[in-house]
A and B are shown apart, each in its own frame.
Chain A
């Protein structure tokens, strides 16, 4: 076990060394144009500079705000719609394909319409994020509430639970793992779409900064912003993994 763990980290380190090694080689003796690949220390300097700019934290704030509101919006809308649709077999039958189609649609293409309708400000990003996160959450909630194990419902009936108690204490609890699986997918989509939307057309936010740096060919800065974005995403992922999980899930 110990030996295996050492091997795992050694392999990861080897990949890291190979990656950065070839980077250093390419920008040094490899003579790759600095416009394509800047020297590592330039990226580092750009990163330090970027993190120290007071504007940067405003941008981070804007991006996080948009993702947060989009997340809340798609959770509320998704779970409500999923629950409402699960109430009768007919409703479930009607809505399931509609939600699945919404999930399959390439939402990327709709973004220009969001810009057209809601402007380049933060609301087009938030609404776009809400829509993208909504479908997987609603679809999974529908499936979750619908597929509550008959045995649990039988226990509830046998022990005299009222309809309200059955909903609160049995259905919602039993559906939770499935709903949360939807929430995790939805949250990932929130992050992906909001950042993409910022890159495509925006006035503020990290995605916008990345697009701007790229269009003005500030290459080290492009790499620096990518690093910051990766850190922000990793942090959000950690939060999701930590909280969007029930205790009885493995």
Chain B
């Protein structure tokens, strides 16, 4: 089902009572099976938009709908989150973490464990199902968080800088692997990132956001079928897109060079 964001605005109140317009008049349409990345400088409201898409945040104006039905609360079986800091429960084993959403939904233990295990195997973690999160590396923990989301069998995945906390090596390896998994399962994905490479390599479409207030300033289409091979990153078309994105983020009113920081 199509995900539509219509005239979305979010206003919040600071501690001193001042009203701040964080996101203004954002319009996005994401087609079924499409991968859209959302990039922009820190504080441009890209996470805010993502949280609205998942029903974690109510828009101050405008609406978010999936297949015509308005989203007002989190519905993980429709759109599931993958957070930057993994946020696994350290007191639960890996398989129980992956099954947590199913537990919340009231699925019996044996059934939900079987399903979680299947998802863990898909991301290559079947062998650590009985370990605890503290025993895993950051990359493995994020894979568990991905399984947790996939176990809900959602149509849409919402990823909030999913690889932001990983080192360059694991980030790239996991990226390539996930790109395959996500394309195979045909999920619709919206990913927030501040890495130029990630934004291009993964997505069918890159939405560039600007700051003050957060809004969409440009849309780039990546005309390359998915899944993509790593060599795509050294392709001339990739370079051209990257240069375009770089200049867009350079001229956007960002004070800090955050868009450049994680490039590479």
Contact = CB atoms under 8 A, between A and B. Distances in A.
Direct contact of A and B (CB under 8 A): yes
Interface of A: 1-2
B15 interface: yes
A2 B16 CA distance: 8
Interface in B1-57: 15-17
Nearest to A2: B17
A1 to B, nearest CB: 5
4 contacts: A1-B15, A1-B16, A1-B17, A2-B17
Nearest to B14: A1
Nearest to B15: A1
B12 to A, nearest CB: 14
A237 to B, nearest CB: 29
Contacts of A1: 15-17
A8 to B, nearest CB: 15
Nearest to A1: B15
B92 to A, nearest CB: 31
CB-CB nearest 4 A-B residue pairs: A1-B15, A1-B16, A1-B17, A2-B17
A2 B17 CA distance: 9
A123 to B, nearest CB: 52
A2 to B, nearest CB: 8
Contacts of B17: 1-2
A1 B15 CA distance: 6
A1 B16 CA distance: 7
A136 B69 CA distance: 62
B17 to A, nearest CB: 8
A175 B15 CA distance: 36
Interface in B94-136: none
Contacts of B15: 1
A160 to B, nearest CB: 34
Contacts of B16: 1
